[in-house]
Structure 1
Amino acid sequence: MEGGAYGAGKAGGAFDPQTFVRQPHTILRFVSWVFSIVVFGSIANEGYVNKPSEVEEFCIFNRNQNACNYGVTIGALSFISCMLFLALDIYFPQISSVKDRKKAVLADIGVSAFWAFLWFVGFCFLANQWQVAKPEDNPLKEGADAARAAITFSFFSIFTWVGQAFFAYQRYRVGADSALFSQDYTDPSQDAAVPYSSYASGNDLESPGTYQHSPSTDAFSAGTQGYQTQNY
């Protein structure tokens, strides 16, 4: 397989941690991983409060339990997704099949775009529920910083996942071109040999058996012996 297919060199190469960490899509995965922890941790730790007169805790996002559940769920699943794709990025250079590399890159594009959409929905949902929350439900504004952090990092996560989808698409375009070249490439010497073979098989050329040698020097010397000079 030609090196450089879908953003990686030939299979079996040594893993370089420094090169891996400096890659743009790797950096975005780490950033998305941190953002998911912030959203998940903020809501799980301070997203539920209760009044002194109440026993059960309620969600600070307008008492909407679905808002807190959504934030915790996408935060946890995004954390797991980042870990899985980081592991795939480490293993990716060891994949020798061009088709398998193509499937991995396409999966990266689809999953990243899907998570960008989920974070957009989460940002809109959390921001809306926090805006319409009643002050009397949380007079001490407990968990306000956690709520703002969850909303803010949900917004930032949209762009980090869009960036991952963009870089994955770039890898797909570059990889598709290199894979196409490696599959369709032919040796120019083989193409150049075809006209010569067809030309040699034409009827205009004489067969090797009909080739006649030029008169030898012995025949020429024998002819000159019969010539006599006349003296006058």
Structure 2
Amino acid sequence: MSARRIALLGAESTGKTRLSTELAAHLRGRGLRAVAVPEVLREWCTREGRTPRPEEQLAIAQEQERRTDDAAAQADIVIADTTALMVAVYAGMLFPEGELLRFAIDRQKRYDTTLLTGLDLPWVADGLQRDAAQPREEVDALLRSLLQGAQLAFQVIYGQGPQRLDSALQALVSAGVLPAGIVDRTVDTDARRAWVWVCEKCSDPACEHRLFKLARSGDEDAAAR
């Protein structure tokens, strides 16, 4: 049986790395061979002390997918933090798109499901990839646009601490990637539903973010309207 592939996408400081490692650890604790594949772009920026030039982007995206393929050869579940699509998104914000985006979309179609991490976590600068909080919404919107344009389904994950992990697990169950018994019942059902965005007709980030802020403020009546 081939490995199930889970793609984690999201803007800066949205908890992708922590979520990928927590998901892998949780699934290993349930007897599955689960592997989290680290973000190659981050490794590259840390090693080189800068962001990549246009001609360097494709090789980084290809290395990301090669590592995912290698992990899939020896695992039941592969959690990719992230995929070639994130490289293409960052490159597209700075340079003209082309072969890189075509490669990234083709590879994204090979994942069993995609989780998009929400913008509810605070932004933290890292001196390399992250130099301002404002582009997060631009990255988030661009990811949604590319996924929708390629007709690739995704679910948006919100929540703090254990709630974020629980929401991700529930989303994977909903997508048919994991069996229902894999989710710990540590968060009540109503709370769990509130932290997974599954609107099938819209996925409008402006609408979603407005509802999220209302829910966070405790205005449940307004959020329901």
Task: Calculate the TM-score normalised by the size of structure 2.
Answer: 0.28
Between Structure 1 and Structure 2, the one with more helix by share is: 1
State the TM-score, normalizing by the size of structure 1: 0.27
- Bigger radius of gyration: 1
